[in-house]
Amino acid sequence: MLAQQITAQRRQALLLFIQGKCKGKSFGFGRRMDQSIHLAMLYRTFDLLQSFQQADIVVVQDGDAPALAGAVYLPQRGADLRESFEAALQDTFALGYERVVAVGGDIPTLDRNDIEGALYNAGVVLGPSRDGGFYLAGLAKEDIQFFNNLPWRQPHLFSHLLSRFAAAGRSCHQLQRRSDIDHAGDGRKNASLLLKLVRIWLTIFSSIHSLCAGKDRFFADRIPEPRYSSLPPPAAIVF
């Protein structure tokens, strides 16, 4: 039934990975603030993906995560990140899509050009992250094989993946290198940008009282912004 809803004009999927309630992650600001950062980045990414009407949004979530209107939801399968990523690609292509662009929800500077570069390029497109991994992968069904048994969470992951494509004689278009927010160290280095995203998110989604009620209410001056940040604030943050 689901596959029948995919029209000839919408054979592309934007695959978004979501971790429920910061599962397994700490940004170093305390539980409530970490949840605010997680949701701020998630909703910003989702709104960015929603602007591409020619592609469907497919969400694979781990644990409890907010429902995003209009998205197709798939359960996460696999015992670890390697198995989960491969299964997510297989399940998405099984729905009948011809091209999938997989993105993470923890890239605070992801922008429209990244998505366009992956959707409108018929070949393999990769977005390298500063920690040696990748934050985006645009590929066709036959490219799944290159993502089997990758050295996940290792600093040479991206270079290893490039070597696989090169050995197979496949060209790969690379996007701008960006930082993802994986742990407390990343959070502290990029605190000013993350707090800016949270302020915008709290303003727009002020009806979500669970994040700003009672004695744990978040105030903008509770966490001092660092003098420097490794990521400049984006020129425009589109929600």
Taking the C-alpha atoms of residue 121 and residue 187, their distance in angstroms, rounded to an integer, is 32
Tokens of 104: 């993470």
Identify the residue with better confidence: 193 or 145.
145
Q: What angle do CA 95, 109, 111 make, to 5 degrees?
A: 55
134-140 and 124-128 strand pairing: antiparallel
**Closest C-alpha among 15, 26, 230 to residue 104:** 15
Residue found by looking up tokens 């940008």 in the block: 193
Q: Quick one: pLDDT band at residue 190, thresholds 50, 70, 90? A: confident
Q: 22-26, 45-49, 140-144, 163-167 — which is least confidently predicted?
A: 22-26
pLDDT interval class at 206 (50, 70, 90): low
pLDDT of residue 237 exceeding 50, the answer is no
Beta bridge partners of 57: 14
Average pLDDT over residues 7-35: 72
pLDDT band at 160 (very low <50, low <70, confident <90, very high): very high
Q: Are 109 and 197 in contact (CB under 8 A)?
A: no
**What mean pLDDT is reported for the chain?**
78
Query: Got the DSSP string for 80-98?
Result: SHHHHHHHHHHHHHHTT-S
Domains of the chain plus CATH, in order, are 3-174 (3.90.550.10)
List pLDDT tens digits, range 110-127.
899 999 999 988 899 999
For 70, how many CA atoms within 13 A lie in the half-sphere containing its CB?
12
- pTM reported for the whole predicted model: 0.78
pLDDT at 50 over 70: yes
Q: What is the largest CA-CA distance in the chain?
A: 59
For 208, the token pair is 């979500």
Cβ proximity of 193 and 178 under 8 Å: no
Averaging pLDDT over each range in 94-98, 178-182, 216-220, which range is the top one? Answer: 94-98
